[in-house]
């Protein structure tokens, strides 16, 4: 996924470069799908269709958006994806209720499947195996006890809760850097 | 913003907050990378008995990677040299090739109770895997200079440093470390790995004539080679 996606889209709109605009939009698809899966639906195909509808609409509107100073792509994109999804849900519900109630665990797994290829999953395991035992036990406990409250965290690690979060953040950053070698 | 990403994954945010966080994520690739890592960890680490699975799958995985790497190398080492221009890919490749570090970690944990030494080795390994080349070279160099360990440990240290030099395209130093490692070790598995690496260095240096005669020498020697190892060396020798 390109790191300069928003810059690319803004530049495309400023310079009225449609090709660059399309390129930027294409690299935004995963973000839009992950956003919808994180809160509103567990159906990847449905989320994907909604995002693609928004992108098609944006491409059609390119001429009117081009040169506009007050267009903020990211907030527009997020709102448009959600509205598209809600509107499609309403339409679908007239015939049959296709959308299940949102399940957080399922949605995280669906997003994981979408964002990580098989090789990247292997690489994640490899990165985890490179942590020392202490770091691994620390991070494993935190992720296996996501609902642990302040007192439980402090009691388990014998650290103030802020230090726990800092330490976790540091380890996640190490892993993030390791993962980035393969993405 | 990072704690909010954690809350997003744990489902602790309301609709408005979710939209705000995603607007920020869209604007900040670093934040998206963090979100992606957290999602991966949330799903992987919530599996029960994860640690054992990792150790099992990693060893299988390394065998697969080693076999795949050998195949790729034998088919197109030159292509690899060209693709090495992509620094990220190159570092990932080196990290893949550093499967020796696995055995090294296991070896030194049997041999050394010195926690400072163990922690320094872990740091050096992490640096290598994170592509912090200079840092890794400095760490291995310090360990080698101050080493009070037996020859086999030193041989592995030299071998690991040679991988880092190779990643840094410092082929002369890489070759010199490999020679030292070979003179120190009696371990057949390590010897095989050193032989491979020496061939890789010679080919990277475009010393094809030397690589060929070295490969022929290897085939004639008493080295215990697997089929795939022999195939690779043969491809250089022919």
Range of the domain at B170: 50-237
Please judge whether A31 and B27 are an interchain contact, meaning their C-beta atoms are less than 8 angstroms apart.
Answer: no
Å from A121 to nearest chain B CA? 8
Asked if residue A29 lies in contact with residue A43, where contact means CB atoms within 8 angstroms, the answer is no
Query: Cβ contacts (< 8 Å) between B25 and chain A: which residues?
Result: 31, 35
Query: Both B172 and B216 in a single domain?
Result: yes
Q: Looking at residue A152, what is its pLDDT?
A: 87
Q: Looking at residue A2, what is its pLDDT?
A: 42
Query: Both B22 and B90 in a single domain?
Result: no
Å from B168 to nearest chain A CA? 16
Query: Both B19 and B117 in a single domain?
Result: no
The whole-angstrom separation of Cα B175 and Cα B199 is 9
Query: ipTM, 2 decimals?
Result: 0.82
B163 to B151, B182, B195: CA distances (angstroms): 18, 14, 13
Which residue from A95, A92, A1 is spatially nearest to A41, judged by alpha carbons? A92
Query: Both B29 and B95 in a single domain?
Result: no
Query: Both B54 and B39 in a single domain?
Result: no
The whole-angstrom separation of Cα B151 and Cα B161 is 15
Query: Both B220 and B149 in a single domain?
Result: yes
Per-residue tokens: B8: 């997003």
Query: Both B98 and B10 in a single domain?
Result: no
A21 to A1, A2, A49, A74, B28: CA distances (angstroms): 15, 13, 19, 13, 18
Residues of chain B numbered 74-103 and touching chain A (CB < 8 Å): 88, 91-92, 95
The residues, any chain, with a CB within 8 Å of residue B213's CB and separated by 6 or more, are: none
Taking residues A130-158, report their average pLDDT: 84
Query: Both B94 and B29 in a single domain?
Result: no
Smallest Cβ–Cβ distance between A78 and the set B22, B41, B95 belongs to: B22
Å from B105 to nearest chain A CA? 10
Which residue from B56, A117, B35 is spatially nearest to B47, judged by alpha carbons? B56
Q: How many domains does chain B have?
A: 2
Query: Cβ contacts (< 8 Å) between A165 and chain B: which residues?
Result: 3
Please judge whether B26 and A77 are an interchain contact, meaning their C-beta atoms are less than 8 angstroms apart.
Answer: yes
Q: Looking at residue B148, what is its pLDDT?
A: 60
Q: Looking at residue B32, what is its pLDDT?
A: 84
Smallest Cβ–Cβ distance between B23 and the set A78, A122, A147 belongs to: A78
How many pairs of residues across A and B have Cβ atoms under 8 Å apart? 126
Query: Cβ contacts (< 8 Å) between A2 and chain B: which residues?
Result: 29
Domain harbouring B120, CATH code: 1.25.40.10
Which residue from A118, A117, A113 is spatially nearest to A44, judged by alpha carbons? A113
Asked if residue A2 lies in contact with residue A29, where contact means CB atoms within 8 angstroms, the answer is no
Query: Both B55 and B135 in a single domain?
Result: yes
Query: Both B30 and B59 in a single domain?
Result: no
Please judge whether B44 and A124 are an interchain contact, meaning their C-beta atoms are less than 8 angstroms apart.
Answer: yes
Give domain limits for chain A.
Answer: 5-95, 117-180
Flag the least confident range among A78-92, A141-155, B127-141, B219-233: B219-233
pLDDT in tens, chain B (238 residues): 788 888 888 888 888 888 888 888 887 878 888 888 888 888 888 775 565 344 444 455 555 666 666 665 555 544 444 344 444 444 444 444 444 444 444 444 454 555 666 667 667 777 766 667 788 888 888 888 776 666 777 788 888 888 888 878 888 999 999 999 889 888 777 788 788 788 888 888 888 888 888 888 888 877 777 666 677 777 777 7
Identify the CATH assignment for A117-180 out of 3.30.300, 1.10.10, 1.10.3470, 2.60.40. Answer: 1.10.10
Q: Looking at residue B174, what is its pLDDT?
A: 92
- pLDDT above 80 for A38: yes
Residues of chain B numbered 116-155 and touching chain A (CB < 8 Å): 119, 122, 125-126, 129-131
Query: Cβ contacts (< 8 Å) between B40 and chain A: which residues?
Result: 112, 115-116, 121, 124, 179
Q: Which residues of A153-181 are buried (b: 16+ CB within 10 A; e: fewer)?
A: bbeebeeeeeebbebbeebbebbbbbbbb
Please judge whether A38 and B8 are an interchain contact, meaning their C-beta atoms are less than 8 angstroms apart.
Answer: yes
Query: Which carries the bigger pLDDT value, residue A103 or residue B202?
Result: B202
CA B142 to chain centre: 20
Smallest Cβ–Cβ distance between A126 and the set B23, B41, B58 belongs to: B58
The whole-angstrom separation of Cα A138 and Cα B120 is 20
Query: Both B179 and B220 in a single domain?
Result: yes
Taking residues A130-151, report their average pLDDT: 83
Please judge whether B50 and A140 are an interchain contact, meaning their C-beta atoms are less than 8 angstroms apart.
Answer: yes
Chain B residue with Cα closest to A83: B19
Query: Both B55 and B27 in a single domain?
Result: no
Taking residues A85-91, report their average pLDDT: 84
């Amino acid at each position: 996924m390109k790191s300069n996606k928003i810059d690319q889209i803004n530049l495309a709109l400023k310079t009225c470069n449609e090709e660059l605009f399309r390129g930027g939009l294409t690299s935004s698809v995963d973000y839009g799908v992950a956003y919808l899966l994180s809160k509103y639906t567990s159906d990847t195909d449905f989320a994907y269709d909604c995002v693609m509808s928004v992108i098609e609409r944006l491409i059609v509107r390119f001429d009117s958006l081009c040169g506009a100073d007050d267009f903020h792509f990211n907030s527009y994109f997020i709102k448009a994806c959600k509205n598209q999804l809600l509107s499609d849900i309403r339409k679908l519900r007239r015939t049959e209720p296709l959308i299940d109630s949102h399940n957080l665990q399922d949605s995280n797994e669906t997003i994981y499947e979408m964002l990580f290829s098989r090789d990247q999953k292997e690489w994640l395991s490899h990165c985890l195996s490179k942590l020392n035992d202490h770091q691994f036990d620390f991070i494993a406990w935190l992720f296996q006890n996501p609902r642990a409250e302040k007192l439980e965290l402090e009691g388990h690690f014998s650290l103030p809760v802020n230090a726990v979060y800092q330490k976790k953040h540091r380890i996640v950053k190490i892993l993030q850097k390791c993962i980035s070698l393969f993405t | 913003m990072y704690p909010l990403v954690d809350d997003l994954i744990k489902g602790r945010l309301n609709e408005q907050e979710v939209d705000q966080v995603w607007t920020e994520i869209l604007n900040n690739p670093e934040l998206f990378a963090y979100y992606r890592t957290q999602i991966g960890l949330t799903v992987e680490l919530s599996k029960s008995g994860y640690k054992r699975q990792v150790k099992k799958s990693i060893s299988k995985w390394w065998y697969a990677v080693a076999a795949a790497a050998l195949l790729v190398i034998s088919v197109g080492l030159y292509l690899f040299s060209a693709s090495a221009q992509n620094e990220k890919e190159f570092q990932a490749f080196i990290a893949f090739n550093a499967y020796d570090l696995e055995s090294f970690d296991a070896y030194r944990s049997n041999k050394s109770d010195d926690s400072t030494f163990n922690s320094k080795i872990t740091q050096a390994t992490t640096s290598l895997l994170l592509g912090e080349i200079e840092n890794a070279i400095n760490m291995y160099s310090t360990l080698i200079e101050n080493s009070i360990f037996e020859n086999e440990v030193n041989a592995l240290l030299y071998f690991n440093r040679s991988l880092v030099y190779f990643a840094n395209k410092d082929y002369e130093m890489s070759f010199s470390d490999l020679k030292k490692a070979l003179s120190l070790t009696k371990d057949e598995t390590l010897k095989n790995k050193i032989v491979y690496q020496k061939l890789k260095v010679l080919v990277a240096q475009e010393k094809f004539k030397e690589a060929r005669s070295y490969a022929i020498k290897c085939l004639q020697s008493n080295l215990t080679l697997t089929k795939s190892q022999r195939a690779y060396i043969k491809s250089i020798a022919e």
